[in-house]
Amino acid sequence: MNTSARQFKEQATLLTQDLRHRQLIQTAIGKYEVVRDRVRSRYQDWNAARQAAAEIKWEAVNHLDEHLTRFATQLEARGAKVHWASTGAQAREIITNLLREKQARSIIKSKAMTSEEIHLNAALEQAGFEVVESDLGEFIVQLRKEPPYHIVFPAMHLTRHQISELFTRELGSAPTADPEELTLIARRVLRQKYVRADVGFTGANFAIAETGMISITENEGNARLTAALPQVMVTLLGIEKILPRLEDLALFLPMLATVGAGQGLTCYNSFYGGPRRPGEPDGPEEYHVVLLDNRRTELLADAEQRDSLHCIRCGGCLNVCPIYRNVGGHSYGTTYSGPVGSVITPHLRGLLEWKHLSYASSLCGACTDICPVKIDLHHHLLQNRRNASASKPSRLERLAFKVFAYVINRPGCYALVKKVGRMAQRLHPLVKGSRLDPAYAWTKTRDLPPIAKQTFKEYWSSRK
């Protein structure tokens, strides 16, 4: 077992036993589920909307070269600068050089999973810049020096008491158990950072090819301030964020809000198409957009799983996943957790190192059902299992299937095995849960249902 797999297993084992943690997650997701279902029930035809969204993303991703070119051309026509980065290292270098060139000192950031993906904060801090996350949840996890727990709700795993202690320790504020008070503390601290920041950094939820705009979905207003106050604005986004037309947002914005947060529309959905225009009173003088590949083109090359690039990062599949809800976001050890993270991480970071995530699933298909762009998530997990075992077959597994095939093809032999199995099961309690048990890995936490006293065939022939 490799390091990532071992860590996943250890963390998952710890957290599934942590009842307090599970309770916290169940409560948070429980609240979300109620509002999500209420908002979704208002749609006249949710499934038709999903199918249309899937087809629009299909069109975008399957003509990605044309749309990206158009996006860049349109943005540049309005005075923005578009940068292209094949790897995370290149993106970090582009951004660091830009900040140096601008003689920037402090950077205010609004939430961007792509920046987590390329570990941007660490690189910028190492280069001597002050980087402050402005989304409340991201601000909290940044103070705790840990990655976001969830792609939409970064601090879902923390109680208000933990956050109060954190603020007291890191910001010197008085302890309080009032979420409103805590929010105010963060607001006050961050306002000062906004006024001083030289550069505003954002991610993007969508990139509109036709008009050359990025779209940011948020609730707090931190991204709006990030895009309004500093003199330089930088946006980092994955190349798959493309939508062909501006009107597509009439569908994607409400669907993202519905599945992502249980809202009809989030508080602010803002489109930015360049630096301040002539006649406009504010906004950055310079606007830079960094387009990131970072092995997305490898995922694109896998036609079978290409639709996983349709993902709009709503986090819906995390919320419904029985595995995520029990092992939590940090156990995965990946930027993108939950079902979609388990599907794409092996492509982005190496199949053999991350194939264990393909088994972090009950294959119940809840992820596929909730996905607003109809990504066939649970089948992709199976395909990753198949691909992993084809590239590095397990000898034990092969042997097991050979034995199984031998037995099942010989009715007499199969009947005998059943009889022996039934007798052996009576002796099983003697070794169950101990190392002597040949099925220890399975039986240490599970019961095997008793084999029926009579097979169906035996019952059928005896019933006359």
Partner 1 sequence: MTEREKILGRIREALSVAAPRPGGAHAESTPAAASVMAQSSTPRSWLPKVGEGYAERLELFRQQSSDLKTELRVVASTGGFRDELRRLRESDGWKKIGAHAGTLVKGAIADLGLPVCWTDSGYKVEELENCDAGITECDALVAQTGSVLITSRSAGGRALSVLPPHHVVLARRSQLLADLPEAFALIRQRYGTDYPSFISFVTGPSRTGDIERILVLGAHGPRKLTILLSEE
Of the candidate residues 12, 246, 363, 417, the single one contacting partner 1 (CB under 8 A):
246
Q: Which of residues 190-229 bind partner 1 (CB under 8 A)?
A: 190-191, 195, 211, 213, 219-222, 224-225, 227-229
Nearest distance, CB of residue 183 and partner 1, angstroms: 4
Residues 93-122 that bind partner 1 (CB under 8 A): none
Task: Decide if residue 359 touches partner 1 (CB under 8 A).
Answer: no
d(CA 351, CA 360): 14
Among 15, 72, 199, 360, binds partner 1 (CB under 8 A): 72
448 token code pair? 């095997």
Nearer to partner 1, 63 or 422 (CB): 63
How many of the chain's residues bind partner 1 (CB under 8 A)? 115
How many CB atoms are closer than 10 A to CB 190? 21
Positions 152 through 191 that interact with partner 1 (CB under 8 A): 153-156, 158-160, 163, 179-180, 182-184, 187, 190-191
135 near partner 1, rule: CB under 8 A: yes
Enter the tokens of residue 80: 């923005």
Q: Which of 9, 21, 22, 63 binds partner 1 (CB under 8 A)?
A: 63
Here's the x/- map for partner 1, 378-417, by CB under 8 A: it reads as: -x--------------------------------------
Contact with partner 1 (CB under 8 A) among 17, 51, 126, 434? 51
The yes or no reply on residue 59 touching partner 1 (CB under 8 A) is: yes
State which of residues 9, 12, 21, 46 lies at the interface with partner 1 (CB under 8 A): 46
- Which has the closest alpha carbon to 365: 357, 377, 375? 377
> Judged by CB under 8 A, does residue 250 bind partner 1?
yes
Tokens 């946006």 appear where?
Answer: 235
Q: Shortest distance, CB of residue 362 to partner 1, whole angstroms?
A: 20
Query: Whole-angstrom Cα distance, residue 30 to residue 2?
Result: 35
Minimum CB distance to partner 1, residue 380 (Å): 11
Q: Compose the 10-29 pattern: x for residues touching partner 1 by CB under 8 A, - for all others.
A: --------------x--xx-
Comparison of 53 and 318: residue with beta carbon closer to partner 1: 53
Provide the CA 313 distance to its chain's centre, in angstroms: 6
Decide: residue 77, CB within 10 A, 0-12 exposed, 13-18 middle, 19+ buried.
exposed
Among 18, 125, 247, 285, binds partner 1 (CB under 8 A): 247
Residue 274 C-beta: closest distance to partner 1, Å: 5
Neighbours of 273 (CB within 10 A): 18
Q: How far is the CB of 141 from partner 1 (least distance, A)?
A: 10
Tell whether residue 266 is a contact of partner 1 (CB under 8 A).
yes
**Cα(166)–Cα(173) distance, integer angstroms:** 9
Choose which of 89, 171, 267, 424 interacts with partner 1 (CB under 8 A): 267
Q: Is 281 in the site for partner 1 (CB under 8 A)?
A: yes
Assess 148 for contact with partner 1 (CB under 8 A): no
What is the chain's Cα-based Rg?
Answer: 26
84 sits near partner 1 (criterion: CB under 8 A): yes
CB nearer to partner 1: pick between 310 and 355? 310
In angstroms, the CA 371 to CA 315 distance is 9
Closer to partner 1 by CB, 28 or 431: give it. 28
